[in-house]
Structure 1
């Protein structure tokens, strides 16, 4: 590698690091610092552009809603709903307040969640602008770079909307525009996100750039767009997208329970690579404990949903005795410390597409077609297949129960499902502090003080 190329890559990585350290105030108030390396230099060739993208993915793994750690949707939304019990002891812990459904606008976990998301949106916007304005990148490379960044930005916006409702939307790094952002009305925001995801799908390549599937391709875009169509209740369009994924021979359902969370499976659609080779996933580090639990345990009502013959009870969770009590922890990811040659953090897997389509088919009054899709995960778990004569309502119940059993602690899927199904208020049965307005999180008070145009605060806070 020449000195010049090494310098370019180092420059790109430095830009990514600077970008991820911009605070949310900077996102709203200012442009890049005057001493930052100009974006156009980062996009002189494909290697430097890819290095900037690598910084974006690194940020998603390290600190983001898609991180498997304490700041990610799996932990925060899992404890907010009914997957996890939070056992942190600090009275000022943001996750503990979310578990107790007592979050306020100064909640530290909520503030960090918002801050990281908008840092990464700013990062994506910078990459999109850099690729678009580059004089040296080929058209195909420009499209791919823009497609990947637009895909990530769209995911961030889609999840932010579902958690906070109306939010500010921007597609620029212009500090004047960003300093005056207000919350975009719901219909306009959803149209923007849907349009952006459609464009990302068009720009993303069909083939993976890397055999490990750590960079999104067109089919990852199809899956994200299908989720958006489900949110919009565009069931026929969502059905076509899910069918397109499942008909692709590159994706094969993993029938071996032990291999579901191993990085080499052809059921994986998109995953995030740990920062260093052989690092443990954040999920493994966060949920593993011996003796007294330290962060989160699985809720007893979740554990009770699994029969003793369900292989997921043996492979997805682990019993941890402590005194006279037995706690259960999430054990989907097994490898710890620097002895992890087999696991990355999976964001999208074919298993979810199957149960997404099962839901879609129930909404299209084609419940009998949903039964084989539900049976895939049941039979892999050693459970008997559902009868083909089930009523439409029973199919819907079985689909919802199966989705909870299969995807607990994974990226807030439980929260998003309950919200889409209009069932969040059922949480009051197991969470006495739950109120209807908890379907939305409060906007961080810090942001409202910095930018009054973000008012009004969400109802109830």
Structure 2
């Protein structure tokens, strides 16, 4: 970890909005046009500006971003949903697609560095709020809650991708320069505790009608995902029930409206930074002709859809090039003059499928099937019988997760890992090895902080 941290927390709104270089864990250099902590946190409006910078960072460079740095493409091609074609990336993302990554892989380094930069930003916001005397307590709690939520989401992804990792809630160089790893279970427990603490800080109602800021239900969904990962199925069920029964949420009647910004099935979405521009997802996956620039649907993914499944025709399109047909992902369709699509992070369908999984894991198969069928029916598929076995319904939930969420947030990787099924990828990915369940810690980080040793197994 390269930790040239300034002991007095520095937040620079302008620099954070455009800061995109791949730095080491929690490194922030002092910019020329600095704004000190006391200036940033002198009022609610200036503190909200710092929070907006974090939201912008999540949209542009985080693991949940819809572009080339995000889990949708990176983890989607790492498993068997997407084929990679990004030959211009110095082979870093292609090595992930081919499952031959090593500890010097620049994309692996980027994911690590971006993640810990966002964690630093969230920690700086929390520290600044705690020192502020000019912001009302209610506003402090709201801003703190949203920042800690985003920190928790990044930690969740980092531990799923890298396994045991450092956990810090500080911006102090003397603390962060020699942090050791803690176990994935400890990370998840810390996330769970953080989310439980901040849940009362946010209202259930959205503070913006476009749902571009997290609310209490968004916190509950991430909490349920973490509980499911910890196999605390009853706790996940309780939170999911509150989401599913909330009058805030309902499914779109038209499948083609799933990725429109005004859907009532959306829990949280990220607005494009520049007005009228395409979402990062639309830019990443759409191609008009020739070989795909980045990704296309894999044959394995295509084969998972039945002819009755409307998602294949609604969310993918064939592109013929010579003798080959590629299928582009066009969940997001608006390329120019975009006014109707934002990047959806969490949607109601995920709550239903994790609820189905939680119920099945508690041996309540008929109840689980009801939630599974609700998702199947949205895409034109018929009901599955409630008399099937637990093992069969869990397999169907995994398959439905894949068909529903391909190219979104790396959900196939996450759901396979949660169910201990990642090694089925050896059937479709020639280079897949057991140790590929996690990525290597970047070699540069090990050199800077020997406390991160040992390297992950296999690397």
Normalising TM by the smaller chain, what interval?
over 0.9
**Aligned mates of 1:120, 1:256 — CA distance in 2:** 36
Shift of 1:385: 1.8
**Aligned mates of 1:141, 1:271 — CA distance in 2:** 22
Q: Does 1:77 align with 2:114?
A: no
Shift of 1:12: 5.9
**Aligned mates of 1:201, 1:298 — CA distance in 2:** 37
Matching residue of 2:50: 52
Matching residue of 2:130: 132
Q: Retained in 1: the 8 A contact 2:37–2:128?
A: yes
Matching residue of 2:111: 113
**Aligned mates of 2:393, 2:245 — CA distance in 1:** 23
Deviates more, 1:444-453 or 1:96-105: 444-453
Q: Retained in 2: the 8 A contact 1:44–1:137?
A: yes
- Equivalent residue for 2:227, pick from 205, 213, 229: 229
**Aligned runs of 1:377-396 on 2, under 5 Å?**
377-396=375-394
- Aligned in 2, Cα 1:321/1:217: closer, same or farther, shift over 3 Å? same
Matching residue of 1:330: 329
- Equivalent residue for 1:205, pick from 193, 203, 206: 203
Deviates more, 1:182-191 or 1:319-328: 182-191
Matching residue of 1:252: 250
- Equivalent residue for 2:372, pick from 366, 371, 374: 374
**Aligned mates of 1:100, 1:305 — CA distance in 2:** 21
Q: Retained in 2: the 8 A contact 1:22–1:119?
A: no
**Aligned runs of 1:285-434 on 2, under 5 Å?**
285-292=283-290, 293-337=292-336, 339-434=337-432
Shift of 1:176: 1.2
Matching residue of 1:154: 152
Q: Retained in 2: the 8 A contact 1:254–1:266?
A: yes
- Equivalent residue for 1:177, pick from 159, 175, 178: 175
**CA RMSD after TM alignment:** 1.7
Deviates more, 1:229-238 or 1:183-192: 183-192
**Aligned mates of 1:305, 1:349 — CA distance in 2:** 22
Q: Retained in 1: the 8 A contact 2:185–2:230?
A: no
Q: Retained in 1: the 8 A contact 2:12–2:36?
A: no
**Aligned mates of 1:91, 1:385 — CA distance in 2:** 44
Deviations 1:225-257 (A, max 9, x none): 001100110000000000011111011122310
**Aligned mates of 1:172, 1:48 — CA distance in 2:** 21
**Aligned mates of 1:388, 1:453 — CA distance in 2:** 51
Q: Retained in 2: the 8 A contact 1:56–1:123?
A: yes
Gaps of 5+ in 2: 1-10
Shift of 1:200: 2.2
**Aligned mates of 1:284, 1:367 — CA distance in 2:** 37
Deviations 1:189-232 (A, max 9, x none): 33222111211212222221111101001000000000110011
Tell me the secondary structure at the aligned position of residue 24 of structure 1: coil
Q: Does 1:13 align with 2:13?
A: yes
Q: Retained in 2: the 8 A contact 1:15–1:52?
A: no
Name the count of aligned residue pairs.
448
Shift of 1:90: 4.4
Q: Retained in 2: the 8 A contact 1:15–1:37?
A: no
Tell me the secondary structure at the aligned position of residue 27 of structure 1: coil
**Aligned mates of 2:289, 2:436 — CA distance in 1:** 33
Q: Retained in 2: the 8 A contact 1:161–1:167?
A: yes
**Aligned mates of 1:324, 1:31 — CA distance in 2:** 52
Deviates more, 1:396-405 or 1:75-84: 396-405
Shift of 1:87: 1.4
Shift of 1:91: 7.7
Tell me the secondary structure at the aligned position of residue 70 of structure 1: coil
Q: Does 1:444 align with 2:442?
A: yes
Tell me the secondary structure at the aligned position of residue 283 of structure 2: helix
**Aligned mates of 2:414, 2:319 — CA distance in 1:** 29
Matching residue of 1:3: none
